[in-house]
Amino acid sequence: MIKKLPLFIIVCLLAISSQALAETELEIEGLEGPLLSNVEAYISGIPEEDYSVSLRFQARLQESITDALKALGYYQSTTTFVVEGDTSDRTLLVNIDAGQPVIIYVSDIVISGEAAADEDFINAVDNSGLNLGQVINHGRYESLKSTLQNLALRKGYFDGDFTTNRLEIAPGRHQAIVRIHYDSGKRYSFGETSIDGSQIEEKRVRSIIPFQAGDPYLASQVGELNQYLSNTEWFSSVYVEPDIDAVGKTYQLPMKVHLSPQVRNQLETSIGYATDVGARGKIRWKKPWLNPEGHSLDTALSISKPEQEATISYKIPLEQVLKDYYVVKYGLKNVDNNDTDSLESNLAFERHWVYDSGWHRTIYTRFLYEEFTQGVQDGTAWLVLPGISFSKSRSRGGTMPMWGDKKAFTIEATDQALTSDVKLLRLQAQGAIVRSIGENHRGVARADIGAIYTDDFYKLPPSIRFFAGGDNSIRGYGYEEVSPKDSEGYLTGGQYMATASLEYQYRVVGNWWVATFVDYGDAWLDTPDWKMGTGVGIRWASPVGPVRLDFAWGLDAEPGDEFKIHFTLGPEV
C-alpha cells in the first residue's frame, strides 16, 4: 500500500530544496579596519556552501561575529540581518554595531627575578599594547605571555614561571583587568664546553666558539656555534647541545659539541649554459682538511667554448679560523673570445680578514704573466700587482631573496720599480641591491664602474682592460662586445667603464615572475659613447637559484644585431 504525502509537506520540502540550491552572498556593513579584518577572518572558517538566509545560519554567523569582536575588546556588539534578492540569488546584509570597547582599567604586569632589569623583557612589556587606558586585545594578552616564555628560554631563565596570569572582563562597566606576574628566577650562564670527535686541533675548534664559560646564556650563540662549525667544512656532522641535566643543580650550563670528520676528498661536477659563454662544464676536487691544523686544498677545472680555466688554492687558517686566514692561489686561463686571444698565468698570495660587521677585507699580491693578441696587437705582459679589496653581501629570503645588497671595491697598483712592464693604478667598484614591496613586486639595481690610470694603455693585457656587454652587463649586446675599436675595427678594451641596470619584476604565479629592464653604459678610452639596452624577461625561482631568460634590444647596436636572447642561472646579488 502506497501512502500519499500531504500537500503542505511537499510544499515545505520544495521550499527547503529551492533554498538549499539558491546562492547566498554576504555583505558586511558598519565595520572597518582591524575590526572588519578580524570578523572576515572568523567568518572565513565557514564554508561558502553553508551560506544561507536561514535563521540557523544567521545564529551561527552572529556567534562568529561576536567572538571576533570580543577578541579585540568589543563585548557588546549588536548584529542585524536583512535579506535582499529573489529566491535564486540572495544577499544577506549583515549590519554590525561594535558598541563601546572594553578599556584596560588595571594593568598589573610585573617581572621579577633577574629579568626585571633585562632590556628585552622591559621592551616586551612596554610594547605589549596592554597599558592602562588601551582597548583590551586578547591576542596581545596571549602574545605577551608567549613572548615572556620565549625570551626566558632564549636567554637562559630556565626556572622562570608565571605566578599570576589572569584576564578579567567586566563588560557592563567596559573595564578589563590584566594581571601578569612573571618570576624569571636567576639567569643561567654558559659552563665549560666539551668537544669530542674532532680530527682538528682543539684550540682551532675552540677559536670558533662565540662565548666563554661564565657568559650569560644565549640560545642564538648556540646556533651560531653550530653554523660556524659547519662553515669550516671540516666536519660531516655537527651537533651542539646544552647539558640540560645541569638545570636546577647549578646556574652554569655546560655545552657539549659532537663532531664527525668530513671525508678527506670531495669531487663535484656540474654543467650549465649561459648565452655569454654557451655550454660549460666544471669539475672540482676539494680536500676540506689536510692536517690537524685545518689546512685545505681546492682545485677546479672550468671549460666553455670561449674560456678554459684551471685553478688551485691552498688555505691556511689562523687563530680565528673563519675570520683570519691566508690563501695561496694559482690560476691558468685561456680566452678566445671576440678579438681577444690570451693565455693568462696568475699566482696570488692573499691575507683575509672577515669582520663582525660583515665586511671582508683582502690584501694581496698577484703575479700576472699574459701572452695575448688583442685585435691587430700582439704582446706579452708581466705585472706584479699589490692590491686590496673590500666586499660585503647581505640577503634575506632564500635562493631568490626579496631583500639584499652587495658591495665590492678593488684597488690594484704597480710600477716598473716592482719589475712590472708598465705603471698603473686600477680601480673598480661594483654594487647590487634588491628590494621588494609586498610579496609580488621586486626591484633589482646594479652598477659597475672602473678606471685605469697608466702611462701606456696598450701595454696592458686584456685581463686588465675593461669590456662591457652581455648577460650581467648591458643586455642587448654580445658578451664583452661593448668596447672601443682600433682603426681596423677590432675591439681594444677600455680604460674606463661604467654600467648600470634597473629592473622591475612582478610575480605572476608561485615562483614565476615577469620582468622589464633597462641597461646603460659603456667602456671607453677618451670619451664615452653611451649604449642602452632594454627588454623583457621571465624569472623562475628554482630550487638551485634564479633562472633568468631575457629578450633584449640594443638600442645603439649595429643594424641587424639589435636583438639578443640572454639566459643565465645564478644569484643577482
Domain boundaries, the chain: 22-95, 101-181, 187-259, 264-567
**What residue type is assigned to position 375 of the chain?**
G
Quick one: fold of 22-95? Ubiquitin-like (UB roll) (3.10.20)
> What share of the chain in percent tops pLDDT 90?
76
Q: 172 with 186: CB under 8 angstroms?
A: no
Quick one: fold of 264-567? Porin (2.40.160)
Mean model confidence pLDDT for the chain: 91
3-class SS of residue 37: helix
The residues with which 46 forms a beta bridge, in sequence order, are none
- Helices 219-231 and 138-155: crossing angle in degrees, nearest 10, is 60
> What share of the chain in percent tops pLDDT 70?
96
3-class SS of residue 454: strand
Structure confidence at residue 6 (pLDDT): 52
Question: 489 Cβ partners below 8 Å, 6+ apart?
Answer: none
Place of cell 673590500: 390
Measuring CA to CA, which residue among 93, 89, 246 is closest to residue 159?
Answer: 246
Structure confidence at residue 354 (pLDDT): 95
Which ranges of the chain have pLDDT less than 70? 1-22, 87-88, 573
Dihedral sign for Cα 460, 466, 470, 472, please.
positive
121-172 tens-digit pLDDT = 999 999 999 999 999 999 999 999 999 999 999 999 999 999 999 999 999 8
486 CB burial (10 A radius; 0-12, 13-18, 19+): middle
Q: 561 with 555: CB under 8 angstroms?
A: no
Question: Which CATH superfamily includes the segment(s) 101-181?
Answer: membrane protein fhac (3.10.20.310)
Q: CATH number of the domain at 187-259, please? A: 3.10.20.310
Structure confidence at residue 275 (pLDDT): 86
Question: 252 Cβ partners below 8 Å, 6+ apart?
Answer: 188, 189, 190, 191, 192, 213, 214, 246
Which value, in Å, is the radius of gyration of the alpha carbons in the chain? 34
Structure confidence at residue 454 (pLDDT): 95
**What residue type is assigned to position 191 of the chain?**
G
Dump the DSSP string for 476-501: TS-TT-BS-B-TTS-B--BSEEEEEE
Q: 191 with 252: CB under 8 angstroms?
A: yes
- Tell me how far apart the alpha carbons of residues 340 and 333 are, in angstroms, rounded to a whole number: 13
DSSP letter (8 states) at residue 156: T
Measuring CA to CA, which residue among 432, 433, 446 is closest to residue 403?
Answer: 433
Equal fold, 101-181 vs 264-567? no
Q: 318 with 331: CB under 8 angstroms?
A: no
End-to-end CA distance of the chain: 84
For 325, the grid coordinates are: 686566514
Count, residues in the chain = 573
Q: 518 with 556: CB under 8 angstroms?
A: no
Structure confidence at residue 5 (pLDDT): 46
User: Among the residues of 174-283, which ranges form H helices?
Assistant: 202-206, 219-231
Q: 348 with 365: CB under 8 angstroms?
A: yes
- 553-562 long-range contacts, Cβ below 8 Å, gap at least 24? 553/476, 554/474, 554/475, 554/476, 554/477, 555/476, 555/531, 556/529, 556/530, 556/531, 556/532, 557/476, 557/477, 557/531, 557/533, 561/478, 562/476
Place of cell 577572518: 41
Structure confidence at residue 53 (pLDDT): 85
- Tell me how far apart the alpha carbons of residues 85 and 533 are, in angstroms, rounded to a whole number: 57
